[in-house]
Chains A and B, each alone.
Chain A
Amino acid sequence: GQQVMQIPQYQHVQEGEDFTTYCNSSTTLSNIQWYKQRPGGHPVFLIQLVKSGEVKKQKRLTFQFGEAKKNSSLHITATQTTDVGTYFCAGLFISNFGNEKLTFGTGTRLTIIP
């Protein structure tokens, strides 16, 4: 089955430092979505990348989709305490029957040291 791995599993950074999480799929993705889950909360959609090599920015967050559509990254510049949470990538796979399945990555838990 499809697998989506993320590294690192945990990241502790000093406030103001940058942070990057990497997402790798075992198979080619139709698109990739990123979600953020605060401690005790539910996943909240951040962005969707569809095109090969696509780069999107949201303020201090930069999302990239690899050329082969098998990997992605999320980079946060100058982290703030509000960035605390677990960041999940989620790859959308389309089966031979046309069914869509979103497979979540293993997540990267970000902790900010004030």
Chain B
Amino acid sequence: AAGVIQSPRHLIKEKRETATLKCYPIPRHDTVYWYQQGPGQDPQFLISFYEKMQSDKGSIPDRFSAQQFSDYHSELNMSSLELGDSALYFCASSPPTGPYNEQFFGPGTRLTVL
């Protein structure tokens, strides 16, 4: 079965650089979520999109932005990177059935800021 695809899987950047993370949800899933997970921490919700519109916003810094495109893939853009941005970034998607659905997580992108 198709899963959530994230790219790249690993990314190394310098401070103050920018990074773009991509997420391809499971086909026919209409909601995409982004999470940040620091070492030994629980996933922290950043932002979500439903049908290409931002549906909710969590603890996403102003330096970050995200969008969902017409093909439902999503990108998380991160600018002026800081050392503290080093983390595992997960994308998750959920299907349109029911009002509240489980989230299917991608393998994550490990971002290291030097």
A105 to B, closest residue via Cβ: B42
B4 to A, closest residue via Cβ: A42
CB of A102 within 8 A of CB of B42, answer: no
A contact residues vs B (CB 8 Å cutoff): 30-31, 33, 35, 41-45, 48, 50, 88, 92, 95, 99-107
- Within 8 Å by CB of B104, from A45, A102, A106, lies A45
CB of B90 within 8 A of CB of A42, answer: yes
CB of A104 within 8 A of CB of B42, answer: yes
A109 to B, closest residue via Cβ: B40
Residues in B48-95 with C-beta less than 8 Å from chain A: 55-56, 58, 90, 92
CB of A42 within 8 A of CB of B108, answer: yes
CB of B100 within 8 A of CB of A30, answer: yes
CB of A99 within 8 A of CB of B103, answer: no
Q: Once the chains are docked, how many angstroms separate the CA of A50 from the CA of B100?
A: 10
Given the contacts A42-B90, A43-B90, A106-B42, A101 and B103 also touching, CB distance less than 8 Å: no
Which residues of the other chain, A, contact B92 by a CB distance below 8 angstroms?
43
Known: A31-B100, A43-B43, A101-B45. 8 other contacts (CB 8 A): A30-B100, A35-B105, A42-B106, A43-B90, A45-B102, A88-B42, A88-B43, A99-B55
